[in-house]
């Protein structure tokens, strides 16, 4: 590149970076994902390195960005809030390079024993400094530019996990630093609410958390549940600090401030590499976003000796993972028809590596949301894939569009079966009216019916369902049980062994429970829990099918919408026929005279329990099933009426609430004792 071209490109990059930095840091409304920002930043860095004459004092590469908003009060940090060097090499080499650098700086001989590091998660939120005087939270500040932050005490006080007073004997002054963030489930709930209201959805948990905390009006925090993890200290007076970082974290946890449990003291580079890989493997299963892990030299004495380069400690590094948001081209918008006939616009994308996998389809939810986001075919769009949430198009990059791209419209006829598409008055979803005439609905109904939480038919996946429906082998659910070896073996790629497997899976599925069967039928508004409640209340299918609206309304948690939907389902003769055919096919369960006639010891009868965090051996489903089998009820939130809270690792705000209300808290062993009747 000529000097002139390089100069022009550098100027262009600077202008872009300045614009995006302002959107990100000051307005909390970024237009592009971090990974894209980093790419532009690195391009500028490379240009400036190759052409040093181009370097200007005001280049974004030359300063730490961050500005204090007018509305929030600036606060000078007692000790600067530093950032950490980022290792962008996501392979093990990144960890090895850090270890080698530290050993070199410490002038350790080759044969010196491995160094101890504290390895922890890099939370993707907003850095906050919590200042406690005599154990009382007196101020909370953002990082700002590292020297001066903003006073966000009022908003931070609304974060339930942050204690307003430290536990135990607190020092006269201690500043605890950490990350305020939003859990993925809290984020999804918030967006579901926004969708219901027809309001704009939020891009990602990080920006939402940052935006909420920096709002001038603390009421803006009300619907946004935030969480917090501490990772270090600021100013401290009158306290004998533990000699290791891991010890500091233990002490912070003992003060009652949340510290993430996924931290470990490891030895040398192999320990760092193992941690990086172990966390990568469970990244999707974590309840919150992380963008990497952080390694810190564990000994505080060694940290002192290592010191800082510019504003970054030599004793810490952030080791990244592939980004969870990326930019790609929206090639097309297709319509997918779901089990209930709902039409979902799906983005067909130029394949892009995001959140650890290649994504080429992403949901656009519904036509109204699509319009609010303003995306059109041909746009550069932002794709987010985090955890097990389905990939989603969250927005577009503003840019030039070809002269004419029409606005997306929902089809009037179902793209699969041609039936009329309708939208309920005032509703947001378009639906195909074809019912089980529609192959798409039939396929989804089959998949739902066979699902793990429903009839649990092993060996029946997407591909096979496509073949069964497209090949005309199955038109109704009961026909599933009339499949024979001969019919199945005729199918493509359906080797005899897998045909036999499916038949065995079907046979096994016949032994079920009434709750599972009801859920499998796919009655609108009847989820797993409602199905169980209905089964428990009526005890038999015939009693349920004969129930009046009033009788249905007597069921735990059943309101008018659910009751009407159940009644409407069994009022349709063809649904009753399906049910009868399934029973005739041999599907069976134990019937009883309703809840009152349940047999066996019920040590938890009348007790309400709340589960929180991860238990060491029981999955949440298993724990719930055991509690219910013992006559207990599992509730989603802690109140004065809760009898016990069962807490595992990473228990969140429910645990705090339990402590606040004085509800007994037990671990898994405690639960087992209760189940055995020790209560
Ligand atoms: S330590 C001197 N530990 O990442 C070291 N930071 O650039 C100070 N972050 O703004 C930071 N998780 O908000 C540290 N486990 C962790 C972290 C963490 C997330 C954030 C932090 C800071 C940025 C570092």
Alpha carbons 460 and 465: distance in angstroms, whole number: 7
Q: What's the gap in Å between 224 CA and the centre of ligand 1? A: 23
Structure tokens belonging to residue 312 = 């970054």
For ligand 1, whether the C-beta of 124 sits within 6 Å is no
Which residues in the chain come in under a pLDDT of 70? 22, 25-28, 57-58, 62-70, 593-600, 678-679
Q: What's the gap in Å between 385 CA and the centre of ligand 1? A: 23
Q: What's the gap in Å between 670 CA and the centre of ligand 1? A: 36
Structure tokens belonging to residue 454 = 């429903």
For the chain, list the domains and their CATH numbers.
Answer: 3-62 (1.10.287.610), 86-320 (3.30.470.30), 325-396 (2.40.50.140), 514-597 (1.10.150.20), 608-675 (3.40.50.10190)
130, 231, 297, 315: residue to mutate for ligand 1 pocket, most atoms within 8 A of CB: 231
Contact indicator for 81, 175 with CB cutoff of 8 Å: no
For ligand 1, whether the C-beta of 439 sits within 6 Å is no
Q: How confident is the model at residue 274, as a pLDDT?
A: 96
DSSP assignments along 163-217, one per residue: -SB-SSS--SEEEEEEEEE--HHHHHHHHHHHHHHTPPPPS-HHHHHHHHHT-SS
Alpha carbons 390 and 344: distance in angstroms, whole number: 13
Q: How confident is the model at residue 252, as a pLDDT?
A: 96
Per-residue exposure over 636-669, b if at least 16 CB sit within 10 Å of its own CB, e if not: eebeeebbbbbbbebbbbbbbbbeeeebebbebe
**Residue 9 to residues 4, 40, 483, 674, Cα–Cα distance (Å):** 9, 11, 65, 68
Alpha carbons 299 and 118: distance in angstroms, whole number: 9
Q: What's the gap in Å between 128 CA and the centre of ligand 1? A: 10
DSSP state of 26: I
Short-list 135, 139, 136, CA closest to 170? 135
For ligand 1, whether the C-beta of 143 sits within 6 Å is yes
Nearest CA to ligand 1 atom 21: 127
Q: What's the gap in Å between 487 CA and the centre of ligand 1? A: 60
Q: How confident is the model at residue 405, as a pLDDT?
A: 78
Contact indicator for 375, 381 with CB cutoff of 8 Å: yes
Short-list 325, 342, 323, 344, CA closest to 333? 344
User: Which residue carries 């609108």 as its tokens?
Assistant: 524
Nearest CA to ligand 1 atom 16: 122
Q: What's the gap in Å between 358 CA and the centre of ligand 1? A: 28
Structure tokens belonging to residue 491 = 């199918």
H-run or E-run covering 571: helix 560-571
H-run or E-run covering 234: strand 227-237
For ligand 1, whether the C-beta of 291 sits within 6 Å is no
Nearest CA to ligand 1 atom 22: 83
Return left, alpha or beta for 540; rule: phi > 0 is left, psi -120 to 50 is alpha, else beta. Answer: beta
Q: Indicate which residues carry an active-site annotation.
A: 122
82, 88, 179: residue to mutate for ligand 1 pocket, most atoms within 8 A of CB: 179
Q: How confident is the model at residue 29, as a pLDDT?
A: 74
For ligand 1, whether the C-beta of 159 sits within 6 Å is no
Nearest CA to ligand 1 atom 18: 122
For ligand 1, whether the C-beta of 288 sits within 6 Å is no
What pairing do the DSSP bridges indicate for beta strands 126-133 and 173-181?
A: antiparallel
143, 229, 294, 306: residue to mutate for ligand 1 pocket, most atoms within 8 A of CB: 294
Q: How confident is the model at residue 471, as a pLDDT?
A: 87
Burial class (CB in 10 A: 0-12, 13-18, 19+), 622: exposed
| pLDDT tens-digit series, residues 617-665 | 888 888 998 898 888 899 988 888 899 999 998 888 888 888 888 889 9
Q: What's the gap in Å between 187 CA and the centre of ligand 1? A: 22
**Residue 200 to residues 8, 190, 368, 395, Cα–Cα distance (Å):** 37, 11, 10, 11
Alpha carbons 397 and 328: distance in angstroms, whole number: 10
Q: How confident is the model at residue 70, as a pLDDT?
A: 58
Q: What's the gap in Å between 531 CA and the centre of ligand 1? A: 45
What pairing do the DSSP bridges indicate for beta strands 308-309 and 312-313?
A: antiparallel
Short-list 409, 406, 408, CA closest to 421? 409
Specify the ligand 1 atom closest to the Cα of 86: 7
Specify the ligand 1 atom closest to the Cα of 232: 1
For ligand 1, whether the C-beta of 126 sits within 6 Å is no
For ligand 1, whether the C-beta of 229 sits within 6 Å is no
Backbone angles phi, psi at 635, to 5 degrees: -115, 160
Q: How confident is the model at residue 387, as a pLDDT?
A: 80
> Three-class SS of residue 620?
helix
For ligand 1, whether the C-beta of 320 sits within 6 Å is no
> Three-class SS of residue 616?
coil
For ligand 1, whether the C-beta of 145 sits within 6 Å is no
Rounded to 5 degrees, what angle do the CA atoms 624, 654, 170 make? 140
Q: How confident is the model at residue 196, as a pLDDT?
A: 84
Other Cβ atoms closer than 10 A to 634: 18
Specify the ligand 1 atom closest to the Cα of 313: 2
**Residue 485 to residues 464, 488, 496, 506, 602, Cα–Cα distance (Å):** 14, 5, 8, 12, 44
Alpha carbons 132 and 118: distance in angstroms, whole number: 25
Contact indicator for 646, 636 with CB cutoff of 8 Å: no
CA dihedral 268, 271, 272, 277 (to 10 degrees): 160
């Amino acid at each position: 590149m000529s000097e002139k071209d390089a100069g022009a490109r550098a100027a262009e990059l600077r202008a872009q970076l300045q614009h995006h930095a302002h959107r990100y840091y000051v307005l909390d409304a970024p237009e592009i994902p971090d990974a894209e920002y980093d790419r532009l930043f690195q391009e500028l860095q490379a240009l400036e390195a190759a052409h040093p004459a181009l370097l200007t004092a005001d280049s974004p590469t030359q300063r730490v960005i961050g500005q204090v908003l007018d509305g929030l009060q600036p606060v000078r940090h007692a000790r600067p809030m530093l950032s950490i060097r980022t290792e962008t090499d996501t392979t093990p080499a990144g960890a090895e390079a850090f270890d080698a650098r530290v050993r070199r700086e410490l002038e350790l001989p080759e044969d010196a024993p491995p160094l101890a590091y504290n390895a922890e998660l890099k939370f993707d939120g907003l850095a906050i400094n919590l200042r406690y005087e005599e154990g009382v939270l007196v101020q909370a500040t953002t990082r700002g530019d590292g020297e001066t932050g903003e006073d966000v005490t009022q908003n931070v006080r609304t974060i339930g996990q942050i204690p307003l007073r430290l536990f135990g004997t607190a020092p006269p002054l201690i500043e605890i630093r950490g990350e305020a963030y939003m859990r993925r489930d809290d984020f999804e709930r918030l967006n579901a609410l926004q969708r219901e209201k027809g309001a704009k959805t939020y891009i990602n948990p990080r920006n939402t958390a940052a935006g909420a905390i920096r709002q001038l009006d603390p009421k803006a925090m009300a619907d946004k549940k935030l969480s917090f993890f501490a990772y270090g200290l600021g100013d401290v007076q009158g306290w004998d600090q533990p000699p290791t970082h891991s010890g500091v974290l233990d002490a912070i946890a003992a003060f009652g401030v949340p510290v993430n449990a996924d931290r470990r003291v490891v030895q040398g580079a192999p320990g760092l590499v193992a941690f990086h890989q172990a966390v990568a493997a469970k990244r999707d299963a974590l309840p919150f976003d992380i963008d990497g892990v952080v390694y810190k030299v564990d000994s505080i004495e060694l940290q002192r000796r290592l010191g800082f380069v510019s504003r970054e400690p030599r004793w810490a590094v952030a080791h990244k993972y592939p980004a969870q948001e990326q930019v790609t081209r929206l090639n097309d918008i297709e319509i997918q028809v779901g089990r209930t006939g709902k039409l979902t616009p799906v983005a067909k994308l130029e394949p892009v590596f995001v959140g650890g996998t290649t994504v080429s389809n992403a949901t656009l939810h519904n036509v109204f949301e699509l319009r609010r986001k303003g995306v059109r075919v041909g746009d550069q769009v932002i794709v987010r894939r985090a955890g097990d949430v389905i990939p989603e198009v969250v927005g577009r990059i503003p840019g030039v569009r070809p002269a004419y791209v029409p606005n997306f419209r929902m089809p009037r006829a179902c793209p699969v079966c041609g039936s009329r598409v309708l939208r309920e008055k005032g509703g947001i979803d378009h639906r195909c009216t074809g019912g089980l005439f529609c192959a798409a609905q039939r396929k989804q109904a089959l998949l739902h019916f066979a699902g793990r939480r429903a009839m649990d038919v092993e060996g029946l996946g997407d591909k096979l369902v496509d073949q069964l429906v497209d090949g005309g082998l199955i038109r109704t659910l009961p026909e599933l049980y009339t499949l024979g070896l001969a019919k199945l073996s005729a199918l493509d790629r359906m080797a005899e062994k897998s045909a036999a497997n499916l038949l065995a899976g079907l046979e096994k599925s016949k032994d079920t429970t009434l709750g599972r069967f009801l859920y499998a039928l796919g009655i609108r508004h009847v989820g797993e829990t409602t199905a169980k409640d209905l089964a428990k209340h009526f005890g038999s299918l015939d009693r349920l099918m004969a129930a009046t609206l009033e009788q249905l309304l007597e069921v735990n948690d059943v309101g008018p919408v659910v009751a009407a939907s159940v009644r409407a389902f069994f009022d349709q003769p063809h649904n009753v026929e399906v049910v009868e055919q399934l029973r005739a096919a041999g599907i069976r369960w134990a019937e009883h005279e309703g809840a009152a006639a349940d047999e066996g010891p019920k040590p938890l009868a009348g007790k309400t329990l709340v589960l929180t965090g991860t238990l060491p051996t029981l999955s949440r489903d298993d724990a719930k099933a055991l509690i219910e089998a013992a006559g207990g009820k599992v509730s989603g939130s802690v109140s004065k009426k809760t009898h016990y809270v069962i807490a595992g690792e990473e228990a969140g705000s429910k645990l705090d609430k339990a402590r606040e209300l004085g509800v007994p808290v037990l671990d898994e062993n405690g639960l087992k004792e209760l189940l055995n009747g020790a209560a």
